[in-house]
Amino acid sequence: MALLFFILSAFDWFFSLLAFEVGVREGNPFLAWCQQNSLFTPAKWALTIVATCLILSLYRYRSGRIVAYCGVLLMALMTGYHIVGLQAYLY
Protein backbone atom coordinates (compact mmCIF):
# COMPACT_ATOMS: atom_id res chain seq x y z
CA MET A 1 0.00 0.00 0.00
CA ALA A 2 2.84 2.40 0.84
CA LEU A 3 4.56 1.67 -2.47
CA LEU A 4 1.35 2.33 -4.38
CA PHE A 5 0.91 5.63 -2.52
CA PHE A 6 4.52 6.57 -3.31
CA ILE A 7 4.12 5.76 -7.02
CA LEU A 8 0.86 7.70 -7.29
CA SER A 9 2.50 10.64 -5.52
CA ALA A 10 5.33 10.52 -8.05
CA PHE A 11 2.76 10.66 -10.85
CA ASP A 12 1.08 13.59 -9.10
CA TRP A 13 4.42 15.43 -8.89
CA PHE A 14 5.21 14.74 -12.55
CA PHE A 15 1.78 15.76 -13.81
CA SER A 16 1.87 18.86 -11.59
CA LEU A 17 5.10 19.95 -13.23
CA LEU A 18 3.56 19.40 -16.67
CA ALA A 19 0.50 21.41 -15.64
CA PHE A 20 2.69 24.28 -14.41
CA GLU A 21 4.33 24.38 -17.84
CA VAL A 22 0.98 25.12 -19.51
CA GLY A 23 0.01 27.76 -16.95
CA VAL A 24 -2.06 25.81 -14.43
CA ARG A 25 -1.65 27.00 -10.84
CA GLU A 26 -1.30 24.73 -7.82
CA GLY A 27 -4.57 24.27 -5.91
CA ASN A 28 -3.04 23.48 -2.51
CA PRO A 29 -2.23 26.83 -0.80
CA PHE A 30 0.88 25.50 0.93
CA LEU A 31 2.28 23.92 -2.22
CA ALA A 32 1.28 27.04 -4.22
CA TRP A 33 3.45 29.09 -1.86
CA CYS A 34 6.24 26.54 -2.29
CA GLN A 35 5.87 26.76 -6.07
CA GLN A 36 6.14 30.56 -5.98
CA ASN A 37 9.32 30.25 -3.91
CA SER A 38 10.92 27.49 -6.01
CA LEU A 39 10.36 24.92 -3.27
CA PHE A 40 7.63 22.83 -4.87
CA THR A 41 9.71 19.74 -5.64
CA PRO A 42 11.47 19.49 -2.25
CA ALA A 43 8.21 20.16 -0.39
CA LYS A 44 6.23 17.65 -2.47
CA TRP A 45 8.85 14.92 -1.96
CA ALA A 46 9.20 15.68 1.76
CA LEU A 47 5.43 15.37 2.22
CA THR A 48 5.40 12.19 0.12
CA ILE A 49 8.19 10.59 2.14
CA VAL A 50 6.56 11.49 5.46
CA ALA A 51 3.16 10.16 4.34
CA THR A 52 4.75 6.95 2.97
CA CYS A 53 6.60 6.37 6.25
CA LEU A 54 3.40 6.93 8.21
CA ILE A 55 1.59 4.40 6.03
CA LEU A 56 4.41 1.90 6.56
CA SER A 57 4.40 2.34 10.32
CA LEU A 58 0.63 2.53 10.90
CA TYR A 59 -0.69 0.06 8.32
CA ARG A 60 -0.79 -2.81 10.82
CA TYR A 61 -3.56 -1.01 12.71
CA ARG A 62 -7.10 -1.04 11.35
CA SER A 63 -7.42 2.76 11.47
CA GLY A 64 -4.03 3.05 9.76
CA ARG A 65 -5.23 0.86 6.91
CA ILE A 66 -8.36 2.95 6.49
CA VAL A 67 -6.26 6.13 6.28
CA ALA A 68 -3.87 4.41 3.85
CA TYR A 69 -6.75 3.35 1.58
CA CYS A 70 -8.14 6.88 1.64
CA GLY A 71 -4.71 8.31 0.81
CA VAL A 72 -4.25 5.95 -2.12
CA LEU A 73 -7.76 6.70 -3.36
CA LEU A 74 -7.09 10.44 -3.10
CA MET A 75 -3.81 10.15 -5.01
CA ALA A 76 -5.46 7.98 -7.69
CA LEU A 77 -8.22 10.57 -8.12
CA MET A 78 -5.64 13.37 -8.26
CA THR A 79 -3.67 11.52 -10.94
CA GLY A 80 -6.84 11.01 -12.98
CA TYR A 81 -7.72 14.69 -12.52
CA HIS A 82 -4.30 15.69 -13.83
CA ILE A 83 -4.60 13.43 -16.86
CA VAL A 84 -8.08 14.69 -17.78
CA GLY A 85 -7.12 18.30 -17.13
CA LEU A 86 -3.92 18.15 -19.15
CA GLN A 87 -5.77 16.58 -22.08
CA ALA A 88 -8.12 19.58 -22.08
CA TYR A 89 -5.14 21.97 -22.20
CA LEU A 90 -3.11 20.04 -24.77
CA TYR A 91 -5.84 19.06 -27.25
> What is the domain range of residue 42?
2-90
**Confidence (pLDDT) at 64:** 85
Residue 45's pLDDT band, with cuts at 50, 70 and 90, is very high
- CA gap 23, 21 in Å, rounded: 6
How crowded is the C-beta side of 29, counted as CA atoms within 13 Å?
A: 0
**pTM reported for the whole predicted model:** 0.85
- CA gap 23, 50 in Å, rounded: 28
Distances (CA, A) of 24 to 59, 78, 87, 90: 34, 14, 13, 12
Total number of domains in the chain: 1
Closest CA to 75 of 53, 41, 52: 52
